[in-house]
Amino acid sequence: MTQPESISLNKRISSSGYCSRREADKLIEQGRVTVDENLALPGARVLPTDKIYIDDELLKFSNPQKDNTFIIALNKPLQITCTTDEKDKTNVIRFLNHPKRIFPIGRLDKDSEGLLFLTNNGDIVNKILRAGNAHEKEYFVTVDKKITSEFISKMSKGVRVLGTTTLPCKVRQAGSRSFQITLTQGLNRQIRRMCEALDYTVLSLKRTRIMHVQLGSLATGKWRYLSDPEMNELMSQIENSTNSASASAKSVTVSKKQKRKQ
């Protein structure tokens, strides 16, 4: 029977989404990591079956899908850029330091935070991003002044931005200066532009859900693989989606106008 190969401890910790390899090395040096109840030493190697603890907390690992397709859920911090451009030192790929080649599904502004998907499967990217596929994204937004019923109504019905009117969406007031909004569109800085058009300024913006996947208690800067049930549900939702241009026929004109405006 073939024995599993050992891997470096810092790489194993990083693959759990707990932290980067560099941060893992620091935790090991600080004596905060144990492997099967033994204090871990710098440069240690482990087996997939070894139990790893950080500050007495057992690390949990989720396996990527059997077909080698995986999706990562990241709670993106502020000031991290959703780009693969290596010249940008704040790019999200450098931030994650994942051992596999991955890229983000869509974007979150540098000044926004919250749930971001990353994957190694370009076909999934296209199917999720196509506006015609109507996959929901939910956000929690705080603005600079009190929200009125008129503001909620106008945001829900659509606002004129980038030479077009945004599609109707779900908007619910959450506090005197905060609201939740669910979009199926993805125009450039859409929520901020919608608020600006109604004379409001966004102070903070966090994405809390993509499709059926919730941000939940995932800490800022941490990431995890989607669970098997989450992946199965996602695959089911995009099964009848298309990555062809026909899927977003309703938004083609909007996209072209948006590009000309930028």
Structure tokens given for 64: 């990527």
Name beta bridge partners: 113.
206
Structure tokens given for 36: 């099967």
Structure tokens given for 97: 């330091």
Catalytic residue, from 109, 144, 199, 228: name it.
109
How many Å from the N-terminal Cα to the C-terminal Cα in the chain?
59
| Alpha carbon distance 57, 34 (integer Å) | 10
| Alpha carbon distance 173, 185 (integer Å) | 20
| Interacting residues of 66 by C-beta distance below 8 A, sequence separation 6+ | none
175: left (phi over 0), alpha (psi -120 to 50) or beta: beta
Q: Establish whether 109 is a catalytic residue.
A: yes
| Alpha carbon distance 92, 115 (integer Å) | 13
- At residue 18, φ and ψ (nearest 5 deg) are -70, -40
Q: Is 116 exposed, middle or buried (0-12, 13-18, 19+ CB in 10 A)?
A: buried
| Alpha carbon distance 209, 25 (integer Å) | 32
Which residues form the catalytic set?
A: 109
